[in-house]
Amino acid sequence: MSFVKIDENGKGGFACSKSIDLEIGCRNACKGCYGSKTTYMSESYFHNIKIKDYDEKKFRTSCKSTFSKGFRNIRFSKHSDSASSHLSQNFKSVLKIAGEEGLKLVVVSKSLTYEEDVVKLMKEHEHVLHISLGMITNAPSDKDRFDTFLQYKESGVNAKIRIVDDITKEMPESPVYGQCNMFDCIVTPMRYASKTIAAEYGIDHSKYKYVNGYYRPQTVHPDWEIMPHWCGEVGSEIKCCKCLVIEDDSI
């Protein structure tokens, strides 16, 4: 039996070393999803999905233990999309309990829809919302996701845009990408675990290098240079913007 708790993720950047997921696997089925590789589930990651058991007492204990170790910022949805509608009640409970225990969550989602209950919990406990754009996915369209971001932003939620894309190419012509630089926007450079996945995205292999199991970007197209905040790898550099949780001009 697998319970919802705060998981250890080894080393990682800000809000990456600890995370919460409400299920094992993900219905978004994004092409090139890192979770399917890091969990060693491959394609079964998108089909053999198991909802974790939620026990409020066990989860609160996990929060207290994490807080006592000095952690304050936790990623909510690292290997799944915990904001999916079928997980709504557990999703809201995690927002509430984690906040009550002094933890600030970085909620990452492609499938979240607008709900006033979620707005209230996000604002009350000062959680941060990252709406993710990009990738070939079963999730709602980029425009739908961007519209959801705007709804939460306009309701006073600390909301950010996260774009996951091929940063070696021109920025795609999109009804939303051109607006993203008007807001706090984080760019995560795509990396590809196989030639098959890379081919689906049409990458230029001369601009990538295969290192430690991934084709990783080595260059940045000028179109992307207007974006000030980055999360991920470019060449040998690992970029971290601390999830834009800390307001600091130096990040």
* CB distance 209 to 215 below 8 Å: yes
* C-alpha span between 35 and 129 (Å, rounded): 20
Q: What is the pLDDT of residue 42?
A: 58
Question: What CATH number should be reported for the domain holding residue 181?
Answer: 3.80.30
Residue 251 domain-assigned (yes or no): no
Q: Which residue has the tokens 């089909």?
A: 47
- pLDDT attached to residue 245: 87
Residue 2 lies in a domain: no
- pLDDT digit of tens for each residue in the chain (251 aa)? 689 999 987 666 666 789 999 998 888 999 888 766 665 555 666 777 889 999 999 999 999 999 999 999 999 998 899 999 999 999 999 999 999 999 999 999 999 999 999 999 999 999 999 999 999 999 999 999 999 999 999 999 999 999 999 999 999 988 898 888 788 899 999 999 999 999 999 999 999 999 998 999 999 999 999 898 999 999 989 999 999 986 543 33
Among 230, 202, 226, which Cα is nearest to 215's? 202
Note the pLDDT tens digit of each residue in 196-210: 999 999 999 999 999
Q: Count of domains in the chain?
A: 1
- Structural domain boundaries, residue 182: 7-244
- Asked whether residue 91 is assigned to any structural domain, the reply reads yes
**What span, in angstroms and rounded, lies between the C-alpha atoms of 26 and 179?**
28
> 165 lies in a domain?
yes
What are the residues whose beta carbons fall under 8 Å from the beta carbon of 22, sequence distance 6 or more?
A: 4, 51, 52, 54, 80, 82, 87, 90, 91, 94
Residue 210 domain-assigned (yes or no): yes
131 within domain boundaries: yes
SS3 state at 105: strand
Say if residues 39 and 193 touch (Cβ distance below 8 Å): no
Residue 209 pLDDT: 96
What does the DSSP 8-state code read for residue 61? H
How many angstroms separate the CA atoms of 251 and 249, rounded?
A: 6
Q: Name the pTM for this structure.
A: 0.92
| Domain membership flag for residue 217 | yes
Number of H-type helices and E-type strands within the chain? 7, 14
Residue 87 lies in a domain: yes
